[in-house]
Amino acid sequence: MSEFIATQLPLAPLGAGDLIDRAVRLYRRHLFTLIRIAAPPVVVSAIGSVLWTIAWRQLFVTPSSTVLALYVLLFSAGAALIIIGHIFSMLVMGGATRNLVTHLLWNEPVSARTTYSAVRSRFWALLGATLIVALWGGMSVSIALFGWYMVSIIIGFGAVVLAQVAPIWLSVLLGVIGFLAATVVALWLFFFMVSRVAYVPQVMLVEGKRVFEAVGRSFSLAKGNVRRLMAMALFTYFATWSALMILVIPLGWYGYLNGIDPSPWNAVEWPAWYAIGYSVLEPLSSILLAPVWMLGLSLLYVDERVRHEGYDIELMASRQLGEMPTLNVSSPFAPAISVDPRKIPPPPPASPNNLLGLRQV
């Protein structure tokens, strides 16, 4: 029963809890394969983090101008690798989505080779789309922070005015409640904007659309997904930090026994080996949880098409009936999955009693 739940699409749309449960089940079934898929981008980010840490520690204490220029170059290279690693992760998400959909459609195995082959097939288009998504995400962060800042100023001013005519504890309480409410609104606004472009890589690789067509398609699919996307993001965030704490605590105890204060506020006093080890642990923890985020976005994309287009019925029909014939008919919906004509799977053989070539079920 667990295998059926993990590999088959449901007829009913999935809620936030169901999406997380489905992502975790798929993660458990393909653990090591998914880690291999997520590892290369994270390794690139980890190398950049190490270079950034080494350069940052020596940047302000180096007396030689020549060595200072070397550390500036090293700092820039580390920052560039961190950015490239995150962009690479977004590219891999699109390939992972196509691999997942073909797994659901034709029961193809989930593999790192298939995922990266899909990424290579549309690398430059995916890179352009990823840059558009990154710019949109940066704009979303700016708008959410600006809104939070303005609301916080108004709430702070109101709390100060209220303190003149009411007890201090009441103004403090209302101020804290107001700041929490402003934070929740800012988070909702951020996820509302980011959700508009959450499906761009998936649309490009699953439906075969171009960059700007994929952006428009993502906007049309992203209806009512803010709560589920927020739940998935918060679950992945707290799970990643939990995994990080599991890795950091042994390092912290070892450093404490060797006379090192493991508090982050004393990071400038850490020896080089401890600072480098700490900077490596964060990317390593994301290797374990990045597949959950990839699976969550993939399943969320599939679920949006299930809700809006009956995608589960189309996938089941494609799996049972084989490839549909090419007809001069335009559909208002995208195909179940775009197929390279050179790689179309053969249709099931026709039986004597089945003139249409349909498989008996």
- In this model, does residue 345 exceed pLDDT 60? no
CA atoms within 13 A on the CB side of 157: 6
- Are 292 and 27 in contact, with CB atoms under 8 Å apart? yes
Residue 319 banded pLDDT, cuts 50, 70, 90: low
Name all contacts of 207-216 with Cβ < 8 Å and 24+ positions apart.
Answer: 207/334, 207/335, 207/337, 207/338, 208/335, 208/338, 209/334, 210/125, 211/125, 211/128, 211/129, 211/132, 214/129, 215/129, 215/132
Mean pLDDT of the chain: 76
Per-residue tokens: 183: 């934070």
pLDDT at 198: 84
Tens digits of per-residue pLDDT, 11-59?
A: 456 777 778 888 888 888 888 888 888 888 888 888 888 888 888 877 7
Higher pLDDT, 266 or 56: 56
Residue 355 banded pLDDT, cuts 50, 70, 90: very low
Residue 311 banded pLDDT, cuts 50, 70, 90: low
CA-closest candidate to residue 275, choices 257, 258, 251, 244: 251
CA atoms within 13 A on the CB side of 293: 22
pLDDT at 71: 84
- In this model, does residue 142 exceed pLDDT 70? yes
- In this model, does residue 343 exceed pLDDT 60? no
